[in-house]
Amino acid sequence: MTTTSAKNFAKKIKWTMVLVFGFMSIAAGAHADSITFSDGTFNTADWALQTIVISGNSPTMVSATQQTTGGNPGDFRQIEHSFTGPTHFASISLYEVSTYNPSVSGAITSVNFSEDAISIESYQSTGIVLQQGGNYYFDYLIDVNNTVWQTLSKTGLVATDFKTTTGQTPDFSIGGGPITFGFYEANSVTDSNSYDTKVGIDNLKVTLNYTPVPLPSSFLLFGTGLFLLTKWQRNRKSS
């Protein structure tokens, strides 16, 4: 091999390695990953409370308070509803520190959710809720009527498992906007009687499985290697 050929061969090896490392960086960024948001204390400052009325009368009272004893164990969040039927409404507790942005961190592939729940007075329906673009998306879990703490969970939830009250679904793709997670409590009656319901929620846990967005440097490295290798091949043919 001549000195010139050896130098060209060395350049080819160098640029090929740049190309390979760039490809490997992109592939590494495409592996599955997960992030978990959890709370077992329920400091009031970390949570936002909203109420939506689906049909009928508005509730006369909705409250969500941090209780420092009686949880599973210790602190828990107590949700209380007072209402007169007919009505169908939900109180939404959003964990404001649990915001995830798919366009920055990567598309969500699935969601796992669990909470501990107890009925203190009558019952409420509970489930996971998420907020995206000003809309609330719900997935029903169970009616809370147990008088001892019970762990409730769902796994492998995808975007189509969540619906607004009009049937829309959230955007878990890389083009989706920021998402904040939490839980909801709902009551629905068709008669005209008055009711008071109260439940406790503890040990909330939301795990997001997602595909990370590759770093821009990975694409730059891959593109540089591809450009240099193509240039070397063209120069080699012209000579």
Instruction: Please give the structure tokens belonging to residue 100.
Output: 């995830």
Cα 194 from Cα 176, distance rounded (Å): 41
The per-residue pLDDT for range 21-68, each reduced to its tens digit, is 444 544 445 568 999 999 999 999 999 999 999 999 999 999 999 999
Tokens 């878990």 correspond to what residue?
172
For residue 213, the model assigns a pLDDT of 78
**How many Å apart are CA 101 and CA 145, to the nearest integer?**
35
| pLDDT of amino acid 8 | 54
pLDDT at 211: 95
Amino acid at 186: A
Q: If pLDDT is split at 50, 70 and 90, which confidence band does 141 have?
A: confident
Residue 18, helix vs strand vs coil: helix
Confidence class of residue 20 from pLDDT cuts 50, 70 and 90? Answer: very low
State how far the Cα of 153 lies from the Cα of 164, in Å rounded to an integer: 20
pTM of the model: 0.79
Interval 65-116: pLDDT, tens: 999 999 999 999 999 999 999 999 999 999 999 999 999 999 999 999 999 9
Q: Is 172 within 8 Å of 133 (Cβ atoms)?
A: no
Residue 198's SS3 state is strand
Confidence (pLDDT) at 32? 81
Measured in degrees and rounded to the nearest 5, phi and psi for residue 156 equal 70, 25
* pLDDT at residue 191, as a whole number: 98
Cα separation, 124 vs 59, in Å, equals 13
pLDDT, residue 121, reads: 97
The single-letter code of the amino acid at 79 is I
Q: What would the pLDDT profile of 185-195 be if each residue is shown by its tens digit?
A: 999 999 999 99
Contact criterion met (CB below 8 Å) for 153 and 113: yes
pLDDT digits (tens, 9 = 90+) for 182-231: 999 999 999 999 999 999 999 999 999 999 977 554 444 445 544 554 55
Query: Is the distance from CB of 93 to CB of 184 less than 8 angstroms?
Result: yes
